[in-house]
Structure 1
Amino acid sequence: MKIALKSGERLFINGAVIRAERKTSLELLNDAVFLLESHVLQPEQATTPLKQLYFILQTMIMDPVSAPAAKDMFHLVMASVSGAFSSPEVLEQLGNVEDLAQNDRWFEAMKIVRGLYPIEARLMAADHRARQEDDNSPPLRGREVVHQGPQLAVV
């Protein structure tokens, strides 16, 4: 496996962080779990269920020592994420992610999760539009809306 790095770019291999001082290429001669800096999600970027799942998977690659604790968190988040989706396509792929993670194939699991981002974005946009349409719906006919403190009551 040949990896090209730009000057200043980082590479995470089996928990070690390698930074290229200048443009260089490396050749990995055996199996190693690695992650390119361009695939690293920062904590503040983990703003959706799938990105949170991705973040946990990348943590297992970047810090193998804490992988057992991250694995426990992965299973908790996976259950929550699976419950957040009803799309059969997403649920099937999440099953694949879980199988891969069970076998410590975190990078392959991350690739699947990353591939689901566009579907998640579409579903979230559709949900947002539906909520906006509900907010803009005409008032209920034949009923009076009464303000009761911070909530509205229909009478």
Structure 2
Amino acid sequence: MATLRISLRAGERIFVNGAVLKVDRKTTLEFLNDVTFLLESHVLQAEQATTPLRQLYFIIQMILMDPDSAEAARKLFAETLPTMLKSYSNRDVLDGLLDIEGLVERNRSFEALKRLRTLIPIEDDILEGRTSKSAASPQLPRQVVRLAAGA
């Protein structure tokens, strides 16, 4: 594996293998082996999970950030995805959701989040009526917020 180098600004946080690290000055981290991480700028807070795709993002994020709750988050993902696949008619969203399903199944949650970030602007257009390829957007269960709270 090639070395992965990440630069962080003073006060920035990074989530690594379930641990939260905060740096007090500009620094560069080098990961010399496989690691699961999420940059603070990619973290979605529970109260920001206001749309179906953002809720799905939050679920996948929990798989990465909280190893103790990863199995519950995986179960919630498996329960949520079929509803979303039935609720959208936009081909880009449907294809993206299928890509994300495969990535999560292969334990590639970071890549799944990256793919999901490309779908959120499409969802925003659908919800704001800026596209004709939309379907009624699903309301996902609030289990997502309970999962974040550790319930």
Q: Do Structure 1 and Structure 2 share a fold, with TM-score over 0.5?
A: yes
2:68 to 52, 65, 69: 65
Alignment of 1:106-117 (within 5 A): 106-117=109-120
1:100 aligns with 2:103: yes
- CA distance in 2 between partners of 1:17 and 1:122 (Å): 34
Paired residues in the alignment total 128
TM-score (norm 2): 0.81
- CA distance in 2 between partners of 1:28 and 1:94 (Å): 29
Runs of 4+ in structure 1 deviating by more than 2 angstroms, as ranges, are none
Q: Residue 52 of structure 1 aligns to which amino acid in structure 2? A: Q
2:94 to 91, 95, 108: 91
SS at match of 2:92: helix
| Higher relative contact order, chain-length normalized (CA < 8 Å, sep 6+) | 2
SS at match of 2:94: helix
1:42 to 41, 45, 62: 45
Query: What is the CA distance between 1:87 and its match in structure 2?
Result: 1.1
- CA distance in 2 between partners of 1:84 and 1:14 (Å): 33
Match of 1:139 in 2: none
SS at match of 2:62: helix
Query: What is the CA distance between 1:22 and its match in structure 2?
Result: 1.2
**Structure 2 residue runs without a partner (length 5+):** 131-151
Query: What is the CA distance between 1:83 and its match in structure 2?
Result: 2.0
Per-residue CA deviations over 1:13-72 (Å, capped at 9, x if unaligned) read 111111101111111111101100000000000000000000011111101121111100
1:54 aligns with 2:57: yes
- CA distance in 1 between partners of 2:87 and 2:12 (Å): 35
- CA distance in 1 between partners of 2:91 and 2:6 (Å): 36
Per-residue CA deviations over 1:58-94 (Å, capped at 9, x if unaligned) read 1111011211111000111212222221112211110
How high is the sequence identity, in percent, across the aligned residues? 50
